[in-house]
Amino acid sequence: MADELLWADRPSIRCPGGGLLEGELRRRGVATARGPLYVDTDHAAAVALRAVLPAARGPAGLGVAATGQASSTTAAAVSAAMAAVLAVAGRPRSVLLAAPRSFCAGVERAIEIVERLLAQRGGPIYVRKEIVHNRHVVDGLRARGAVFVDELDAVPRGATVVFSAHGVSPAVRAEADRRRLKVVDATCPLVTKVHAEARRFAGQGDTVLLIGHAGHEEVEGTLGEAPERTILVQSVEEARRVRVPDPGRVTYLTQTTLSVDETAEVITELRNRFPALRGPASDDICYATTNRQDALRSIARDTDVVLVVGSRNSSNSLRLVELAERTGTPAHLIDDARDIRPEWLSGVERIGLTAGASAPPGLVDSVVAALGGLGPLTVGERETTRESIHFTLPAAVRRQS
């Protein structure tokens, strides 16, 4: 896979769209490696293909070579992958970026906590669950000495363990105490707020109807605050059916990363059934989730396809994909440029681009660069609000900075 096309007798040409070709090769079962491709070495290759396109910043290349040992199947796959990418290359397009997008304050804080611990105490630093739901972030921290575990029994007694941004139940905290672990809590303060509400309302004798998705770590943590008094409600349908001991003593709370529109429908249904329903003083769906959904709503109708940078287990990224689709615009979740399928760009002139709250901003830049490698690209941004929220770090990592 060419990062750059090199000739003996003329300037080299960079290949920013190479990620798309790499993804297409991998989907066709071809293992890839990236590097410069010398254009005069094709005599040694079973397949050596390259193209030079007019692109966003001068000419851009696409190049791929398979070694002399490549099977005919691999050679056919390489040719087909190149043809698939070239089929959508060379035409002008625009990218409209939604703003705000990418990291929120809670995610930045959680990542900084692990980074500071690694710098201050060295590895290994144990982290219960993924610190935030993003593959690139987790892989990057793992490479620097973070050890991600599913449960605390995988952490040696007395070691340092970080609780992820999604929060934990009291049972997990108690288990950490029993194992004498040094806990650093990276739970987002906005998740902590929901835990406090669950304790308060349950303590007042209410049944807490927690709107959220079963199995999500945040929901497991919040449910654990008052398990005997909390019922999970995942949909309007479940809101219609849920039974409570005393309809006059019911509170709703929500996961922080839900669809604003769908949650409003669930709450309306609950209110119809339980007129005395109480709720949190301020929305549990957090500012970052709300802002990213508002920003996406504003661009989705003006674009032909929407790409959402985020990982499959990122709740707020998945909600962005669903929101774009509800406005009638096809949308796709991508971990990075390699996940972009050429056929998504066929006949497409206007691409909407955003990223979930756990996706690094640099990934968005690399997607823009990859799209710019396919042909002339104009890039614009539509900002619906500006975020200035910042959360302070826990004292345990602040002290030693």
Distance of CA 223 to the CA centre of its chain: 24
Contacts with ligand SF4 by CB under 6 A lie at: 104-107, 165, 188, 190-191, 256-257, 286, 288-289, 316, 357
Was 286 annotated as part of a binding site? yes
Is 159 within 8 Å of 127 (Cβ atoms)?
no
To the nearest whole angstrom, how small is the minimum distance from the Cβ of residue 172 to ligand SF4? Answer: 18
Is 218 known to be catalytic? Answer: yes
Shortest approach of ligand SF4 to residue 369 CB, angstroms?
Answer: 26
Check whether 134 is labelled as a binding-site residue: no
- Between the alpha carbon of residue 209 and those of residues 112, 187, 247, 284, the distances in Å are 33, 22, 11, 13
Cβ 194 to ligand SF4, closest distance in Å? 8
Find how far residue 335's CA is from the centre of its chain. 7
Compute the least distance from the CB of residue 348 to ligand SF4, in Å: 29
Please check if 315 is assigned to a binding site.
yes
**The two three-digit tokens of residue 231, written as one number:** 């019922």
User: Closest approach of Cβ 329 to ligand SF4, in Å?
Assistant: 23
List 197, 218, 220, 225, catalytic entry: 218
Pick the closer one to ligand SF4 by CB: 94 or 316. 316
Which three-class secondary structure state does DSSP give residue 20? helix
* Whether the Cβ atoms of residue 26 and residue 10 lie closer than 8 Å to each other: no
Q: Which amino acid is at 29?
A: G
> Quick check: 307 and 334 in contact, CB under 8 A?
yes
| Residue 314 assigned to a binding site | yes
CB nearer to ligand SF4: give 79 or 391. Answer: 391
DSSP lists the bridge partners of residue 128 as 149, 163
Residue 235: burial class (beta carbons within 10 Å; 0-12, 13-18, 19+): middle
104 marked among binding-site residues: yes
The CA-based dihedral angle spanning residues 140, 144, 146, 148, taken in that order and rounded to the nearest 10 degrees = 40
216 carries a ligand binding annotation: yes
Distance CA 107, CA 147 (A): 18
Closest CB to ligand SF4 among residues 256, 303: 256
Q: DSSP character for 132? A: S
Which residue is nearest to ligand SF4, using beta carbons? 106
Is residue 253 a contact partner of residue 284, using CB atoms and an 8 Å limit?
yes
Q: Closer CB to ligand SF4, residue 39 or residue 105?
A: 105
- The nearer residue to ligand SF4, 189 or 330, going by C-beta atoms, is 189
Which residues are annotated binding-site positions?
A: 104, 133, 166, 188, 216, 256, 286, 314-316, 358
Task: Please list the active-site residues.
Answer: 218
Which residues are annotated binding-site positions for isopentenyl diphosphate?
A: 133, 166, 216, 314-316, 358
Which residues are annotated binding-site positions for [4Fe-4S] cluster?
A: 104, 188, 286
